[in-house]
Amino acid sequence: MVKEQGTGKREQGTEAIKGKRLASVENIAGSFVERPKAIAALRAQIASGSVRASGLAAEYYASIEQKNPHLNVYLSLTKERALAQAARVDDLASKGDPLPALAGIPVGIKDVLVVKGAPATAGSKILAGYHPPYDATVVSKLEAAGAVLLGKTNCDEFAMGSSNENSAYGPVRNPVDTERVPGGSSGGSAAAVAANMAVATLGSDTGGSIRQPASFCGVVGVLPTYGRVSRYGLIAFASSLDRVGPFAANVRDAATMLSVIAGHDPHDATSSPAPVDGYATESDKPVEGMRIGVPAEYFAEGLDAQVRAEIEKGIDALRSAGCTIKPVSLPHTKYAVPVYYLIATAEASANLARFDGVRYGYRSPVPATLSDMYSHSRDEGFGAEVKRRILLGTYALSAGYYDAYYRKAQQVRRILAEEFLRAFAEVDAIVTPTAPTAAFKIGEKSDDPLAMYLADIYTVTASLAGICGVTVPCGATSAGLPVGMQVLATHFGESKAFRVARAVEAAHL
């Protein structure tokens, strides 16, 4: 449900219980697609006084009120905090003071990142009623840069899913075609940008949860290098894989967002002290002379013919821009999905053990004993997909199976990472399809977990290797469904990925 922070008032919006239907819509392809203005243009208007940040925030809340009943993008709103921030930006602008990078820019936050005082559900019933007492580091950085935080976006429960159908608060609908999924798990964040319900958003990516939704919704999504962005305040799924990254309507805006949230954080021991580039400026550089790798393993059986055709057009555009296209080999790619679903579920089993009904969140009213309270709270609080992954992970870590499954998966993970490093010794970036198909229909894969897991086949490899990537729109199918190209670069090679993505974007404008 959409609530205003601190009021508890139910707004007109999504149904609160999983399984209830959203407001009926007459599906018209693209009827909710409305791209936001670029960050630089909006910031310049606010600086000049031709647009007030307070007025801009009000416009976005009006858009949310109109569209959210149909798309189910936002779970809660932080209106009081947003309008206070917008007023501060207006005050700076009226004095002629320099404005920070995101001054007055309306932003949405995936509901796996904590915002002080706002509901933090992670799309799960088990966190009902939890209001964290602190901000995630990325949230603090956005606000310090002047961003106006509109609210929390819907997602698959605990970021586990590829369709956003696993949320306890109902599925998000794709703004391009409301009968189709927006991708997952950050479907709400991707849909918010595609429907102009935020100028930019934050999501999290464990095995493709930023890149695949960006592809399905026709927006730009960024997977930063592991350690590039702090995870402090991120509700954990799989700690060696989880990353926070931005969505935006164009490459330059995504680069601007990453520059703001990147950098070392003393609260996160895994965050890197490596210097942060000016990614927006880097994205403007030409790609002439760059070497672009194309791995045959990503163009094999299972890739939709129309998706393949659009990606090949994107590769041709890079060739025309002066890039050298070179075949590369990543032969262990075929093992990536099983390796990912062993490691990720094992880490999920450990991370989700803390949600037990004792300290915060949902507690079952049924049992009389402590043991029963644990089991009933977890059984009633977690959804089917989360329970499936906890069971898989617990099995993989159990005595007698650890060496056969989890340890072996970690060994193959290292091989996958080494293959990427060898490839990047020969090329500056690697381009692939982001997903094997365009957005599929809601319910189409719900009863087939394996088919759903295979939707991540082109994204989990980069997650396992710890490298970075950008997904950029690269055409559309005959039905008008967006196709995304994934641009991968080596560790802390975000600048190169942005350059290549910007060239692809320029060819498709």
Which residues form the catalytic set? 110, 185, 209
**Are 204 and 159 within 8 A, CB to CB?**
yes
Beta-carbon contacts of 152 under 8 Å, excluding residues fewer than 6 positions away, are 74, 75, 76, 77, 78, 108, 109, 110, 111, 115, 118, 119, 120, 121
For residues 10 and 1, what is the distance between their CA atoms, to the nearest angstrom? 7
Residue type, 29: A
Burial of 471 (0-12, 13-18, 19+ CB in 10 A): buried
Residue type, 159: A
Peptide bond into 162 cis (omega under 30): no
Rg (CA), the chain: 21
Cβ neighbours around 83 below 10 Å, total: 16
Beta-carbon contacts of 84 under 8 Å, excluding residues fewer than 6 positions away, are none
**Are 154 and 73 within 8 A, CB to CB?**
yes
Q: In what order do the strands lie in the sheet with 324-328?
A: 3-4, 74-77, 148-153, 106-110, 200-205, 243-248, 220-223, 468-476, 482-489, 429-433, 291-295, 324-328
Q: What is the number of residues in the chain?
A: 509
Distance of alpha carbon 431 from the chain centroid: 19
For residues 462 and 197, what is the distance between their CA atoms, to the nearest angstrom? 29
For residues 166 and 160, what is the distance between their CA atoms, to the nearest angstrom? 7
Beta-carbon contacts of 253 under 8 Å, excluding residues fewer than 6 positions away, are 38, 39, 40, 199, 200, 220
For residues 299 and 307, what is the distance between their CA atoms, to the nearest angstrom? 10
